[in-house]
Amino acid sequence: MEILVLIICAVIIVAGIVLIIWILRNRYDNSNVVIHGGMDTGTQKNGTESGSLFIGVSNELGTSVLNGKNRRRTYRFYLIDMEKGEKYDIQFRENIGIGRAENVRGIERFLTIHNDMRISGYHCRIYAFNSQIYIEDTGSKNHTYVNQEQVTRPHVLRNNDVIRIGDTRLTVKF
């Protein structure tokens, strides 16, 4: 009977060790590679010039991080309010809404901009598709503009684009 108890304890210990090893190998932040000035193979430009994003996120502008496990893409860029100088750090995996509301159902993240009454509650949406970042107007009363052109269908965002919603102008920085 004692031998059976010892065998069961040994099996439980081995199973626990295997589980710990599996968890450590399958973490999201496992084996990251940081690239300074990496190149977008599609455009032959570096990541900040091409308007494209690499897999992962970084703490500094112009740096790309490749996740070793290549799980889910996280997109990161900055929106800079041209009048106030405020810098919004935008990170998302699927989409982000922009407007005066605090949040919107079905939107992963929401950037709330206060003190601009010309901005609708849910003014526009930024999302990723095929490794590019798009912006689309969501039926706002005062429309969404990129580089002074009205957004009437999804528009690809590029580095240094200027988004205007209401009276607020935001510069895009990848």
Q: Tokens at residue 43, please?
A: 């455009």
pLDDT tens per residue, range 36-58: 444 444 444 444 444 444 444 44
Contacts 24+ apart (CB under 8 A), 138-147: 138/97, 140/99, 140/165, 142/118, 142/166
Q: Helix or strand or coil: residue 15?
A: helix
Q: Are 87 and 80 contacting, i.e. CB atoms less than 8 angstroms apart?
A: yes
> How many Å apart are CA 138 and CA 103, to the nearest integer?
14
pLDDT of 153 > 70? The answer is yes
pLDDT of 174 > 60? The answer is yes
Q: What is the pLDDT of residue 92?
A: 87
**Lowest-confidence segment of 31-35, 44-48, 127-131, 164-168 by average pLDDT:** 31-35
Mean pLDDT, rounded, for 26-43: 46
Q: For the structural domain made of 73-173, what CATH number should be given?
A: 2.60.200.20
Q: Which residue has the tokens 């990848």?
A: 174
pLDDT tens per residue, range 2-18: 888 889 888 899 888 98
Q: What is the pLDDT of residue 26?
A: 63
93: which DSSP letter?
A: S
pLDDT of 63 > 60? The answer is no
Q: Are 90 and 79 contacting, i.e. CB atoms less than 8 angstroms apart?
A: yes
pLDDT tens per residue, range 91-134: 888 899 999 998 888 888 999 998 899 999 999 999 988 888 99
Closest CA to 76 of 51, 97, 58: 58
> Which residues fall within 8 angstroms of residue 126, CB to CB, at 6 or more apart?
90, 92, 95, 96, 97, 98, 133, 134, 135, 157
Strands (E), 113-161: 124-129, 132-137, 144-146, 149-150, 155-156
135 or 129, which is more confident? Answer: 135
Q: Which residue has the tokens 């295997």?
A: 18
